[in-house]
Amino acid sequence: MFPQLKVLCIWDCPNLLSFNFSEGFSGNLESLESLEIKDCPRLKSFPDEGLPTPNLSTMLVFNCKDLNKLPTMNSLTSLATFFLHECPKIECLPYGGMPSSLIQLSISDCDKLTPQKDWGLVHLEYLSHFQFIGERIGMKSFPEENLLPSCVISLHIGTMQSLKKLDDKGFQHLNSLKTLAIHCCDKLKSFPEQGLPDSVRSLCIQKCRKLAKKLKYTRGVEWHKVSHIKRIEIDDKVMYQRLPSLN
């Protein structure tokens, strides 16, 4: 079982249905650090007992249309990065939640996954990068209170077609947030009433027509909520950039 294997990529396997580790499995996967599973349209599940990969630090699952369940992850005590893209049948994150070691979480185009407090992300003290792209998610406000931990530095959301506002309570404790990126949220029209956290240094808005109209320099009705931000980019144009002080 390749005891020194560090990277395993499984791509374009149209007949792969599942992964199984028989009772008494003695294979050594302790060296595995990165696992990538991509374009396996019939893959349905992982072993109920999880993966025997205690040193796995990166896991990517892309375009597995039939996958309906993620493996138990609380035993993956080294997992730092998890990407889940284009898995439309996944309805929830693993039972037991994500490992406390997680630093980066990216979820996109998983039609049945809606960010919620039950995910327990607020308890992940190392989570610094969170990305959620969800075309069919019916959320009108984001994020709900106590969804994200205060240690989040970078937040990227996109293609949330029902999103109308950024929530006050969801943002009020994100005092480490430095970068906020939002794209393709055409109904989004307002920031939190109290404005974005003072810690935000970079704001990038792409294809958010209603919001962009309200962010005109000094004149837009939402401008006062972002005026402290050093760099603001809207639709690939830098609208405002504060030069560093000479002092």
Cα 36 to Cα 10: distance, rounded to the nearest angstrom = 6
Residue 16's pLDDT band (cuts 50, 70, 90): very high
**End-to-end CA, the chain:** 60
Q: What is the pLDDT of residue 127?
A: 98
State the pLDDT confidence band at 1, using cuts at 50, 70 and 90.
low
Distance CA 29, CA 52 (A): 6
What share of the chain has pLDDT > 70, as a percent? 93
pLDDT band, very low/low/confident/very high, at 49 (cuts 50, 70, 90)? confident
CB atoms within 10 A of CB 26: 8
Here the tokens at position 69 are 């369940």
pLDDT of residue 87: 95
97, 122 Cβ separation under 8 angstroms: no
Over the stretch 144-165, which tens digit does the pLDDT of each residue have? 999 999 999 999 999 998 999 9
Average pLDDT of the segment spanning 26-54 = 88
157, two tokens: 């959301």
Average pLDDT over the chain, rounded to an integer = 90
26: confidence class by pLDDT, cuts 50, 70, 90: low
The count of other CB atoms within 10 Å of the CB of residue 115 is 22
pLDDT at 134: 86
Of residues 226 and 2, more confidence is placed in 226
- Is residue 24's pLDDT more than 70? no
Q: What is the dihedral of CA 118, 122, 124, 125, to 10 degrees?
A: -170
Q: Sorting pLDDT into bands at 50, 70 and 90, what band is 219?
A: confident
pLDDT given at position 42 = 96
